[in-house]
Amino acid sequence: MKFWWIILLGFVPGSALAAGESREALAILEKMAEASQKVNYSGTFMFQHGNQVETSRIAHFVNPAGGVLERLETLDGPAREVIRNNDQVTCYLPGSKTVLIDPRGSRQFPVRVEQIQEIVQHYNVVKGGMDRVAGMQCQWVTLTPNDNLRYTRRFCAELNTGLPLQARTLNDKNKTLEAFAFSTLDIGGSFRREMVQSKYAAMSVKQNWRVDRSALSADDSGDSGWVVQSPPAGFRKLMELRRSMVGKKGKASHLVYSDGLAAVSIFIEPGAKPDQKQALRHQGALHIYSHVVAGHTVTILGETPAETVLRFARSLEPKTAATALR
């Protein structure tokens, strides 16, 4: 594999067994990373974050050219349907009769494992035991962070395809903050158009649902007008853009950073309430911090411990201010 040299750099004489186990664990991780791009599957899964549990159904198809068609529908709580056609994602919200269209896509389900070479620099990857989920055999692999800026992640990957059948996010006290697991699952099979067609598309047109295309007007030039001077170690920028806001003046800026497992999103909107105070809250594994910077309302959402989100907040500033300091 292309990243085995990373293990060799940390090789200690007499640790051949540990090195072998590390290679096996990384092979599982790489297989998981490839699964979302190569494996067709459909099934039902449960997602738990904090005290909330949500059940959803998903159908996911890929073709040899790399195209992806996907449909995800919540089965309890407020109705929501997400249709993915390659990079374009359309979200139907029947409760508010709204359609949201985003051309940039979203994080892949059930997990997105990328930047493997970077991941092994900040996580210790260990192969675990065997288990059985949704009637299928799977292998556990644990990623334990080397610092306090990340959570421990555990995945149980299906033996043949590497598709994660169950995942858990744990804090430093080994408490589960977030988890998902398939309850029913079919892997493989040929493409079936009806499984990825929206059941709300025709209704949304007939009933004249509100269509939010504000994401389509985003400026993808890569200049948000803001900069994170010193992002936490291991986090690199995946996206930077500026977009118009429905019913508001000015444009909001959006930056996304990731360490290959966890993502941090930064939203900057012009204007702030005179009495607006900083606030830090969390739900499950997600920490949300909001405060005011240079007359803008900044909201940072991170699938990380609070300290990571706060470090991003302390490092964020307008590019004009950053340039003036040089």
Q: What is the tens place of the pLDDT at every residue in 263-316?
A: 999 999 998 887 888 999 999 999 999 999 999 999 999 999 999 999 999 999
On whether both 23 and 95 belong to a single domain, the answer is yes
On whether both 196 and 227 belong to a single domain, the answer is no
CA 277, CA 290: separation in Å to the nearest integer?
8
Residue 162 φ then ψ, to 5°: 85, 0
Residue 81 has pLDDT above 90, yes or no: yes
On whether both 95 and 232 belong to a single domain, the answer is no
The full DSSP string for 227-285 is EESSPPTT-EEEEEEEEE-TTSSSEEEEEEEESSS-EEEEEEEEB--TT---EEEEETT
On whether both 110 and 37 belong to a single domain, the answer is yes
The number of folded domains in the chain is 2
Counting Cα atoms < 13 Å in the Cβ hemisphere of 132 gives 2
On whether both 196 and 222 belong to a single domain, the answer is no
pLDDT tens digits for 108-157? Answer: 555 566 667 778 889 999 999 999 999 999 999 999 999 999 999 999 99
Examine residue 31 and state whether it is found in any structural domain, yes or no: yes
Give the pLDDT of residue 1: 30
Domain boundary, last residue among 144, 171, 205: 205
Give the pLDDT of residue 315: 97
Examine residue 211 and state whether it is found in any structural domain, yes or no: no
**How many percent of the chain have pLDDT more than 70?**
85
**Residues spanned by the domain of 222:** 217-325
Give the pLDDT of residue 209: 97
On whether both 52 and 24 belong to a single domain, the answer is yes
On whether both 189 and 225 belong to a single domain, the answer is no
Examine residue 305 and state whether it is found in any structural domain, yes or no: yes
- For residue 34, what pLDDT band results from cuts at 50, 70 and 90? confident
Q: Mean pLDDT throughout 170-183?
A: 95
Comparison of pLDDT for 107 and 163, the residue scoring more: 163
On whether both 237 and 105 belong to a single domain, the answer is no
Closest CA to 40 of 139, 131, 160, 141: 160
On whether both 197 and 312 belong to a single domain, the answer is no
Closest CA to 194 of 80, 39, 301, 42: 42
On whether both 26 and 120 belong to a single domain, the answer is yes
CA 132, CA 185: separation in Å to the nearest integer?
12
Closest CA to 267 of 304, 233, 293, 230: 293
Domain boundary, last residue among 205, 229, 254: 205
Comparison of pLDDT for 150 and 12, the residue scoring more: 150
**How many percent of the chain have pLDDT more than 90?**
63
Give the pLDDT of residue 246: 64
